Amino acid sequence: MIDILTKNLSILVVLCPLITSLFVVLIPNIFFSWVLTTLSTFLTFLFSILLYQEIQIHSHISYALGKWMPPIGIEYIIDKVAIIPIIIISGISFIATIFAYKIMPEEIENKSISKVYSLWLLAIAGLLGLVTTGDAFNLFVFLEISSLASVALVAMGAQKDKQALVAAYNYLIIGAVGATLYVIGVGLLYGITGTLNMEDLTNRISDLNNNKALIAGFGFMIIGIMVKAAVFPLHIWLPRAYAYAPSAVSVLLAATATKASLYILARILFSVFENSENLINITLLYVIFPLSIIAMFAGTIMAIYEKDIKRLLAHSSVAQIGYITLAFAIGTKASIAAGFIHMFNHAIIKGGLFIAITSLGFYIQKRVTINNLSGLGRAMPITFFCFVLCSLSLAGLPLTAGFISKLYLIKATISSEAIWIAILILISSALSVVYLWKMIEVMWMREGRKIVIKENPTIYMSLIIITFFNIYFGLDASLVVNGSFEAAEKLIGDLK
Amino acid sequence: MISSTIGIWNYWIVFCLMMIGLFLVIGRKNFLKKIVGLTIFQTSVFLLYITFGKIKGGTPPILNESIDSIYSNPLPHVLILTAIVVGVATTALGLSLVLRINTEYGSIEEDDISAQDLVDYHDDIETGKSVDLKFK
């Protein structure tokens, strides 16, 4: 029994939310549909923890789907790189599901709640499948499963604010164009190599270095994934989608959705195309590197001038994605590790901030803007305290998780002799303090309406859990740092 | 030269459809027309895949001892079956969103909608006169 379980862990991680999503939709009761969702996300998290332990022993698990052997059948690959986004997605989705219990009925009418939970699980299954699959076309299918489910989830925000519909529509159109571009790229590669398996692809493209179809296919794939990962000029869909989605959905999407695509970006750049070094170096230097630098500043400045808090956090996400892609663009082992460290830390930081802001919105029963935050810090000490800790973590103060990722990022830039990049990172972090302080000042310093708010433990429990992790991984980051360095070593080997 | 250019006319059609579709998605302000463009764009990719699978003089891929000839690659067709399903789902979701947008805003022109949104956003943020929630 245990043996069967451990053998099939890589597929169970994806199947568990996928299958329960079919059952959740049948349950009319709000409470029981939530219980089933929580159980399913908890099991998924448990499976991913077990998978993490397996990875420590075997370091590479290949799972042939339906016993069709790899180059021909679909293969699921889990290695030390893939386990990082798997843990992030399953962990955050578990915490977000706990958070959703009280928030979800507030924003969505009762009869559609079980459908929302079904879509919720479908989105999680799509994201996990995206990360585990080793087949280029299967990846497209999961990309569409996750993005169609997320679009429908964002559109559920229309019961509160009709702008959610336009946000969802834009997300759908831009996402579908991105996914189609990715398919064109896969098609071109299939045309010249005759395989869809990623490892097989790596071996077969090593012979055709300057093939034009290879370069075109690579370009299409990268652009398609960059749309999904919201890399700077392709991020237009992100702020609106996060701002108008139902609160619990913004927590889930903000913390997980772009992480999976960023991982795919890293895998295409450093693993699938590892043999066409010239192509990769040009892409990193002339495309991803400048875009990340612009993203760091554009995102931060947009956030400073934004007054709607959820949009503000979404703009800040664009800047943080810029840090991660910058780390990939530098392309040394230390910097790629820093990228993965920040990927993990950003998930828990943004998750925490979104939970804090949406619980404020839950108590004041209004759209959270900078004006109606005044004086709330005194009325809600627990939520405010966690919010401040997460903000400090985002700004990168010592003893928080954000500090660790900034530290390793700056160390990596200095060791690759690019001091000016380190200075740019520091300036951008300093600017991020401006918008964080703006919020804290309004909440704490300004006199607000005299309201008494009784904080609800079902809501602040998940906030406390995630804030605890923000502090814990700031004090003892060895788990994340070691995992990321092993991942980076697996990705680029000892070449550089 | 000419024969090689005309010989790949499938790719020319794919290319033209792709550009027409992409232009509609980017250039049109009408939400329904954008979806039409998206569908054309996706269809062009289906044609691209089918073209990859075709071999001149190839037979259908049937396993038979007596037929000893080259056959067309069946895999792209299977992949495209999946992609068609995904495309239908995308179109259906998009159309249902357009329907909802039409009932909420009374228009599916991007300019009208962003003008309405701007007014709402202004009311919401600048004047602090926040729109009350519909539920509770």
Which tens digit of pLDDT belongs to each residue from A89-123?
999 999 999 988 888 888 888 888 889 999 999 99
- Contact between A307 and B125 using a beta-carbon 8 Å cutoff: yes
In terms of average pLDDT, the best of A99-108, A147-156, A192-201 is A147-156
Structure tokens at B64: 């038979």
List the single residue in A160, A179, A190 with the smallest CB-CB distance to B134.
Answer: A160
Residues of chain A in contact with residue B86, where contact means CB-CB under 8 angstroms, are: 140-141, 144, 179
A34 and A143 co-located in one domain: yes
Q: Which of B117, B128, B93, B131 is nearest to A160 (CA)?
A: B131
Question: Is the domain of A166 the same as that of A204?
Answer: yes
ipTM associated with this complex: 0.88
- A478 lies in the same domain as A333: yes
**Based on the structure, what is the number of domains in chain A?**
2
CB atoms within 10 A of CB A45: 22
Query: What is the share, in percent, of chain A residues with pLDDT greater than 70?
Result: 98
* Residue A450, pLDDT above cutoff 70: no
Give just the sign of the alpha carbon dihedral A46, A488, A256, A359.
positive
Residue B123: per-residue pLDDT: 66
A-chain CB neighbours of B123 within 8 Å are none
Determine the distance in angstroms separating the CA of A349 from the nearest CA of chain B, rounded to an integer. Answer: 26
Report how far residue A225's alpha carbon sits from residue B14's, in angstroms, rounded to the nearest whole number. Answer: 22
The pLDDT-based confidence of A48 (bands split at 50, 70, 90) is very high
Place of tokens 């896969």: A186
Chosen from A103, A139, A143, A169 to mutate, greatest number of chain B CBs within 10 A: A169
Cα of first residue to Cα of last residue in chain B, in angstroms, is 71
Q: A243 phi and psi, to 5 degrees? A: -75, -35
Closest CA to B112 of B34, B26, B31: B31
**Distance (Å) from the C-alpha of residue A257 to the closest C-alpha of chain B?**
18
Chain B contact present for A308, CB below 8 A: yes
- Residue B3 pLDDT class (50, 70, 90 cuts): low
Q: How far is CA B135 from CA A104, A157, A159, B41, B63, in A?
A: 11, 12, 8, 40, 62
Tell me: do A340 and A411 sit in the same domain.
Answer: yes
Residues of A in contact with B74 (CB under 8 A): none
Residue A432 sits in the same domain as residue A383: yes
Q: What does the alpha-carbon distance between residue A113 and residue A124 come to, in Å, rounded to a whole number?
A: 17
The verdict on B72 touching A (C-beta cutoff 8 Å) is no
d(CA A394, CA A319): 11
Instruction: Specify the pLDDT at position A360.
Output: 83
Report the pLDDT value the prediction gives residue A105, as an integer from 0 to 100.
Answer: 83
Kindly report the nearest CA distance between residue A113 and chain B, in angstroms. Answer: 14
Which one is predicted more confidently, B7 or A352?
A352
For residue B125, the chain A residue with the least C-alpha distance is: A369
Shared-domain flag, residues A255 and A174: yes
In B, minimum Cα distance to A144 occurs at B86
CB of B125 within 8 Å of any CB in chain A?
yes
Mean pLDDT along residues A48-73: 85
Q: What is the model's pTM?
A: 0.91
Query: How high is the pLDDT of residue B1?
Result: 58
pLDDT tier, B122 (very low <50, low <70, confident <90, very high otherwise): low
CA atoms within 13 A on the CB side of B59: 9
Q: What is the pLDDT of residue B67?
A: 64
> Do both A123 and A263 map to the same domain?
yes
- Specify which residues A308 forms β-bridges with: A369
Which residue, A275, A290, A313, sits at the end of a domain? A275
Cβ–Cβ gap A176/B42 under 8 Å = yes
Percent of chain A with pLDDT over 90: 36
* Model pLDDT for residues A304-343, shown as the tens digit of each residue: 988 888 889 999 999 999 999 999 998 888 889 999 999 9
Do A31 and A126 sit in the same domain of this protein?
A: yes
Asked if A315 and A398 sit in the same domain, the reply is: yes
State the pLDDT at residue A185: 93
State the residue range of the domain holding A103.
1-275
CA A144, A146, A148, A151 torsion-angle sign: negative
A180 part of contact set with chain B, CB < 8 Å = yes
* Residues 70 through 109 of chain A touching chain B, CB cutoff 8 Å: 106-109
CB contact under 8 A, A177 and B134: no
> Which of the pair, A166 or A70, is modelled with greater confidence?
A166
Does B134 score more than 70 pLDDT? Answer: no
Q: Report chain A residues whose CB lies below 8 A from the CB of B134.
A: 159-160
- Please report, for chain B, how many H helices and E strands are present, in that order: 5, 0
pLDDT at A475: 87
Tell me the pLDDT of chain A averaged across its residues: 88
Question: Could you tell me the domains of chain B?
Answer: 2-125 (1.10.287.3510)
Q: Are A173 and A181 in contact (CB under 8 A)?
A: no
B94 touches chain A (CB under 8 A): yes
Last residue of a domain, which of A218, A251, A275?
Answer: A275
- The model's confidence at residue A145, banded by pLDDT at 50, 70 and 90, is very high
Residue A71 reports pLDDT greater than 90: no
Residue B133 reports pLDDT greater than 50: no
Q: A297 and A204, same structural domain? A: no
pLDDT-based confidence at B68, cuts 50/70/90?
low
How many C-beta neighbours within 10 Å does residue A61 have? 20
Name the amino acid, one letter, at A137: F
- Assess whether pLDDT exceeds 50 at residue B136: no
Q: Are residue A269 and residue A208 in the same domain, yes or no?
A: yes
**A252-289 core/surface letters (b: 16 or more CB in 10 A; e: else):** bbbbbbbbbbbbbbbbbbbbbbbebeebbeebbeebbb
Name the H helices within A108-162: 113-132, 136-155
Cβ-Cβ contacts under 8 Å for B37 (sequence gap 6 or more): B20, B21, B22, B23, B24, B25, B28
Maximum CA extent, chain A = 72
Say which range, A308-312, A344-348, A399-403, A441-445, has the weakest mean pLDDT.
A441-445
Q: What is the pLDDT of residue A220?
A: 93
Establish if B71 touches chain A: CB-CB under 8 angstroms: no
Q: Rounded to a whole number, what is the distance in Å from the CA of B45 to chain A's nearest CA?
A: 6
- In whole angstroms, what is the distance from residue A469 CA to residue A453 CA? 26
Q: Which among B35, B83, B89 has CB closest to A148?
A: B89
The verdict on a CB contact (< 8 Å) between B131 and A367 is yes
- Asked which of A275, A301, A335 is the last residue of a domain, the reply is A275
Confidence of residue B126 (pLDDT cuts 50, 70, 90): low
Residue A355 and residue A222 share a domain:
no
Q: Which residue of B has its CA nearest to A152?
A: B93
